[in-house]
Amino acid sequence: MKGRVDKIDEMLEVASSFYQEFYQEKSIYVLSWTLLFEDLPKLSDEDRTLLDRDINVKECFDALRTMPDGKTPGDDGISAEVWWIIFRLIGKHYVRIINVAKEKGRFQPEFLRALLPFLKKKDTCDSLMKNFRALSLMNIDYKTLPKFLSARLPKFLGNIIHGDQTCF
Q: Give per-residue pLDDT as tens, 41-76.
A: 888 899 989 988 999 999 999 999 888 888 888 888
Neighbour-count burial for 46-67, b at 16+ CB within 10 Å, e otherwise: eeeeeeeeebeeebbbebbeeb
Q: Give per-residue pLDDT as tens, 104-129.
A: 989 888 888 888 788 888 887 777 77
Q: What angle do CA 62, 65, 66 make, to 5 degrees?
A: 95
Confidence of residue 40 (pLDDT cuts 50, 70, 90): confident
What is the per-residue pLDDT for 56? 94
